[in-house]
Structure 1
Amino acid sequence: MGKKATAFPALCNKLSDPSEIENRVVVDGNLVTSRGPGTTMEFALVIVEKFFGREKALELGKAMIFVH
C-alpha cells in the first residue's frame, strides 16, 4: 500500500495513486511496474539492474541495440 506504480492503460483507474500512470516503467523499492507489452525491454533491463547493477543493464541494453 502507498507504492508508486503504473499499469496497462485499461487498469490505471484501479491504482490508488495515479501520479505515475504516464511513465513507461516505475520503480518503488522492490516493486517494478510497467504499462504493457511495448515496455517489455525497459521493464526487463530495470530488473537486470536490480539484481546485477546498472553497469550490467547498460551492457545488455547496448548488446541488444536497445536505446533508452
Structure 2
Amino acid sequence: MVQGKKATAYPAMCDKLSDQSHIHNRVVVDGNLITSRGPGTSMEFALGTVEKFFGRPKALELAKALLVVRQ
C-alpha cells in the first residue's frame, strides 16, 4: 500500500517499510497518503489532514484555536 511512497509508521512496524528514510518523522504526507507514528501523533495527523484538504492557513487557524503549536 505504501510502496513507492514516503511514509512513517508505528515503531514496531517501521522495519516493514521498504523506504525507511522518513520513519523518524511524526507525520509524513506524500500525495494522498498521510501516515503517522501512533496515538501520540494524532493531533499532528489531524492537522496534516486538514492542511491536505483545506490548506495550510486553515490548519494553522485550527491549531491556534486548539492551542497547538504548529509551524
> What band does the TM-score fall into relative to the shorter chain?
over 0.9
Structure number with the higher helix fraction is: 1
SS for the counterpart of 2:28 is strand
Map 1:57-68 to 2 at 5 A. 57-68=59-70
Q: What are structure 2's unaligned runs of at least 5 residues?
A: none
SS for the counterpart of 2:21 is helix
Matched, 1:52 2:67: no
In the alignment, the residues of structure 1 paired with residue 66 and residue 59 of structure 2 have an alpha-carbon distance, to the nearest angstrom, of: 11
In the alignment, the residues of structure 2 paired with residue 53 and residue 18 of structure 1 have an alpha-carbon distance, to the nearest angstrom, of: 27
Letter in 1 for 2:67: I
After the TM superposition, list the runs of 4 or more consecutive aligned residues in structure 1 that deviate by more than 2 angstroms: none
Q: What are structure 1's unaligned runs of at least 5 residues?
A: none
Give the TM-score taking structure 2 as reference length: 0.92
**Percent of pairs with identical residues:** 75
Give the TM-score taking structure 1 as reference length: 0.96
Map 1:1-68 to 2 at 5 A. 1-68=3-70
Aligned length: 68
